[in-house]
Structure 1
Amino acid sequence: MTFSYGAALIVLGVAFWHDVKSMIIPNWLTASACAAAWIYSVFTGGVEGVLKVLLGTAIGLLPMLFLYVLKGIGAGDVKLFAALGAWIGAELIFQLFIYSVLIAGMIGVVFMVVYRPFFQRVFTMILSSVLPAAAGRMGFPRVWQQGTKFPFMLAVAPGAAVAWYFY
């Protein structure tokens, strides 16, 4: 694994933690990761490295910007993909985008099925039988209370694993 992929993996891990915890990917993470990738490319790749990092940033940014305009994802996800694209390059970030969107679609279908009241009652009955004390306090997970919203990183993390595996 090269330094670039290791850096991208660290950025991905920190973004995952923040997104799952608060559904926000902080600007300090995306901005510093993108700037670090640009600086790294200047010192290690020269002009060719700069062109590679700019193309990776653009390919990470543009498709995600389209999803953001359609209100499918948040702005932090857009900036994260731009930063990841700067680290891993245009080809791999595009594959990551495709796999993440496909996995997010599968998660969305599962949420549409599970969000229905029947499945909520079944979930509560199962939870009550396994953890009776927790069932009353816990209720439904926060994700279900918000409708079909979920942290996009739940799709990006497995999407990254698939993209790296097939790359």
Structure 2
Amino acid sequence: MIIEIVLVTILIISLYTDIRDRKILNIVTLPTILFAFIFHIGTQGMEGFLFSGKGFLTGLGLLIIPYLLGGMGAGDVKLMAAIGALMGTNFVFYSFIYTALIGGVIALVLIIKQKGLVNSMKSFFYTIVFFRSNLGSMLLGKDKHSSISFPYGIAIVLGTLCSLIWGGF
């Protein structure tokens, strides 16, 4: 029960700071990771260390490549690692799946809103017919005039809450 309270607390704080300042703070994520390790070691010993360690590495590994490609900030990666350290490998993996789905829906809505539905459909069909796409450059920010970004912490928080409420698939 204490783990879920800590999880929901860091999610609320991270959501607030990511919306307000577009930052997920180290003062939230790093102590959470430390707390998770101490808690799980204290309650389960070496088994708890492995539980937190595997969850931490899974959370870190799931978002490290998008971070290295410039698609998200380090705070997003640390938040997912903290979620993994608190809740374990299976939980963070399901949270990631929900997060990716929610993030995709948010991105699609923002693209349609920015370009309009008709232009978005034209671009989609052009991409399919001619096998060309500028979507990657749009999302990675190569074309600054059509770049779309949003605080990905929103998707992480919503995806993690979905995993907490509904569990896995």
Give the TM-score normalised by structure 1.
0.78
When structure 1 is superposed on structure 2, of 54-63 and 152-161 the one drifting more is: 152-161
Moved over 2 A (4+): 116-119
Partner of 1:114: 113
Give the match for residue 64 of structure 1: 63
- Indicate whether 1:5 and 2:19 are aligned: no
| Contact 1:115–1:147 (8 Å) recurs in 2 | no
Asked whether the equivalents of residues 25 and 77 of structure 1 are also in contact (C-alpha less than 8 Å), the reply is: yes
In the superposition, relative to structure 1, how do residues 46 and 146 fare at CA in structure 2: closer, same or farther (>3 Å)?
farther
Between the aligned residues of both structures, percent identity stands at 30
Q: For 1:52 and 1:118, how far apart are their aligned partners in 2? A: 45
- For the residue of structure 1 that corresponds to 2:165, the secondary structure is helix
Alignment partners' CA distance in 2, 1:146 and 1:75: 23
1:158 aligned partner: 158
Deviation at 1:116, TM superposition (A): 2.5
Instruction: Provide the aligned length of Structure 1 versus Structure 2.
Output: 141
Cα gap change, 1:114 to 1:80, in 2 (>3 Å): same
Residue pairs, 1:16-27, within 5 angstroms: 16-27=15-26
Deviates more, 1:154-163 or 1:11-20: 154-163
CA distance, structure 1, for counterparts of residue 30 and residue 146 of structure 2: 28
- Deviation string for 1:83-110 (max 9, x for gaps)? 1111111101111111101111111111
CA distance in 2, matches of 1:158, 1:12: 9
Aligned CA RMSD, in angstroms, stands at 1.9
Deviation for aligned residue 1:117 = 7.1
Structure 2: tracts of 5 or more residues without a match = 119-144
Larger deviation, residues 146-155 vs 21-30: 146-155
